[in-house]
Amino acid sequence: MLYKFQCKKSADVLMLEDLTQVIFEIINKPLEPRGIFLVEQLPVAINALEKAIEADLESKKQSSNSDLDVSKDEKPVPIKQYRLGQRAFPFLKLLKEAQINEEPITWGV
């Protein structure tokens, strides 16, 4: 399923359901087919998402350091990394722009 997030003075953001579900779990908001982020909810959502991105980056640094312990004869097995920071960046940018412009964000399927 594809979710479309809109704010009047910002570009629309489209996200697949998997990423949307992860982000909504991070910001502790139930994911529904339609909804709204009120201006008052934006700072909490931004803060929670930024902390999760920082934690994700830190865990990746630690896992990449442990990958360096592999001997030169062994080839490391590639691990699919989620890259929360990259995938969530457009949504985080939308949240910040909505906060600056003091506008709510609506979404729908």
Say what the pLDDT of residue 79 is. 43
Say what the pLDDT of residue 57 is. 86
Task: Pick the range with the lowest mean pLDDT from 11-15, 39-43, 51-55.
Answer: 51-55
pTM: 0.80
Burial 62-87 (b: 16+ CB within 10 A, else e): eeeeeeeeeeeeeeeeeeeeeebbeb
CA 89 to CA 102: how far, in whole Å?
19
Say what the pLDDT of residue 14 is. 96
Q: Dmax of the chain from CA atoms? A: 56
